[in-house]
Chain A
Amino acid sequence: MALIDVVNLSKAFGPKVVLSNVNLQVQEGESLVVLGGSGTGKTVLLRNIMGLLTPDSGHVAIEGKIIAQLKREELFEVRQSIGMCFQMAALFDSMTVFENVAFALRRHTKMTNGEVTARVEECLSMVGMKGTDKLKPAELSGGMKRRVGFARAIALKPKILLFDEPTTGLDPVMTDVIGRVILDLKHELGVTTITITHDLKSAFEIADRIALLFRGECIACEPPAAFKVNPHPVIQQFLRGDADGPFLQDPPPPKRKTQEAHS
């Protein structure tokens, strides 16, 4: 049985249909990368998995438990085994970096203060944020916030990790570091991950399977090698990163020759 099972998931906001009939299965220890254009509902998908949104139809099951049907206490129990990294980091801005990362450790474990400090240091140094523990989130840059959010998500060593664009806004070197941390977690702890990213290079490094969301539907979900050669025009356009093709609803502005633009 799949660890994370998304079945016929549909979600609309008012008249706007964001997800329609999405099916995804993630096995234990597998890492899935979700690609898709901006605004196609990747974040909405994660929020449904986390139980922050309720599906209009269909359901999400984690270890066979249907998230939308759990009581709040049971839901919180399930969530203890899931780490989520928000797109905008969502750090607690009244707390320091240290307190942010230590939050779940203090609430859900019986660790001593020394152990908590050690674990927080470990998590922060993994993402290259050592020595920032006394700062407040307002004193961090966007990329630094995102890395602290990453550290906070992995602090409890959860079984499942959901990353919402963990590398957007990071420099290429740090992007590679985050990719390696995700791979390390997978190999050392056997965590199951769903990663949303726009960075194709790290997507192909991390992924066991890649899914592409397009207009609310999951049009492909297959291993990286097969994904690369998938003849679907949308997938090929996405991989090329070209504005011309079926991907956009409205035609893009015509391409100018660079010389013309200069004259």
Chain B
Amino acid sequence: MVLTFFDKTGARVLGALDLAGDFAVLAGRTFAAVFRRPFDGKNLLNQLQALGVNSLPVVVLTSLAVSMVFAVQLAFGFRQFQAEGLASQVEGLAIIRELGPVITGLMLSGRIGSAMAAELGTMQVTEQIDALECLATDPVHYLFVPRFLAAVVMVPLLTVISIYVGFWGGYLILVGVEGQSAYVYGNEFYKLLAFRDLRIALIKALVFGMIIALVGCWKGYRTQGGAEGVGNAPTSSVVTSSLWILISDFFLTKLLLV
């Protein structure tokens, strides 16, 4: 009884370590392959298009919705103790420090991370990845690197757009509905912020981009077992990368805010 418990726990721990090790090795190989020739510009452009440009509507809409609802809550909350003026300051703080990067990261892990896992997963089960190997092409170099680079460029870029949209979402509610002065809103939004905050937001977005691309590609690459496996790969990639986005967000905030 006790022994089977230890057996099972031990097997779990070993399994988790195995997975972590496998991920680390593939991530390391991706970093190493970034600078290897030949540079595949056409593939990278395709990925920039698929990841960045096509994700724009999703990011704009979610950022708008979240920033507006947050402004409504702040206006209501601060009215309780006659401090309506603080709403715009806190709105700016929240959007730039947390909501912008995290919402973008989570949405993109659903939109592009899952697409990567599904695409590479299909390629794996239909032997296309083996075919790449046989044509003397490293799948990590050919498939991972363009997606990784595109995510590393596009997630920060989309985060900036998300912050910008967030500003106008707050404006819509606080100026348009609550009747604050537009001039005051424009000033107050940035009042609690320093340039450092934007830098932190971009660093977070960069890390989230790496997580999304690496986890998506890894889950796809390790797909096994036909249609069912291909079905599981995106789900598990979204769950894993969302989790790691939230965990790394906590640690990055802790580390970078001191």
**Which residues in A have some Cβ–Cβ distance to B below 8 Å?**
47, 50-52, 72, 76-77, 79-80, 82-84, 86, 88, 90-93, 103-104, 107-108, 152
Contacts and interface: CB of A to CB of B under 8 A. Distances in A.
Nearest to A105: B135
Interface string B114-132: 0000000001001110111
Contacts of A76: 136-138
Q: B134, B136, B137 — which one has the most chain A CB atoms within 10 A of its CB?
A: B134
Contacts, number: 51
28 contacts: A47-B130, A50-B133, A50-B134, A52-B133, A76-B136, A76-B137, A76-B138, A77-B136, A79-B134, A79-B135, A80-B136, A83-B134, A84-B131, A84-B134, A86-B130, A90-B127, A90-B128, A90-B130, A90-B131, A91-B131, A92-B131, A92-B132, A93-B128, A103-B135, A103-B137, A104-B136, A108-B136, A152-B135
Q: B123, B128, B132 — which one has the most chain A CB atoms within 10 A of its CB?
A: B128
Interface in B200-237: none
Nearest to A108: B136
A123 B218 CA distance: 35
Interface string B59-87: 00000000000000000000000000000
Leading 3 A-B pairs by shortest Cβ distance: A90-B127, A90-B131, A79-B136
Given A50-B133, A76-B136, A91-B131, 15 more contacts: A76-B138, A79-B135, A80-B136, A82-B134, A84-B131, A86-B130, A90-B130, A90-B131, A92-B128, A92-B131, A92-B132, A104-B135, A107-B38, A107-B136, A108-B136
B133 A79 contact: yes
A4 to B, nearest CB: 15
Contacts of A50: 133-134
A103 to B, nearest CB: 6
B22 to A, nearest CB: 15
A84 B131 CA distance: 8
B25 to A, nearest CB: 12
Contacts of B123: 92
Contacts of B136: 76-77, 79-80, 104, 107-108
A41 B134 CA distance: 19
A90 to B, nearest CB: 4
Nearest to B133: A52
Nearest to B38: A107
A93 B134 contact: no
Nearest to A155: B135
A110 B136 CA distance: 15
A79 B131 CA distance: 11
A16 to B, nearest CB: 16
A86 B135 contact: no
A152 B128 CA distance: 13
A17 to B, nearest CB: 21
Contacts of A152: 135
B134 A52 contact: yes
B126 A88 contact: yes
Nearest to A77: B136
A107 B136 CA distance: 9
A108 B134 CA distance: 13
Q: B123, B127, B132 — which one has the most chain A CB atoms within 10 A of its CB?
A: B127
Nearest to A46: B134
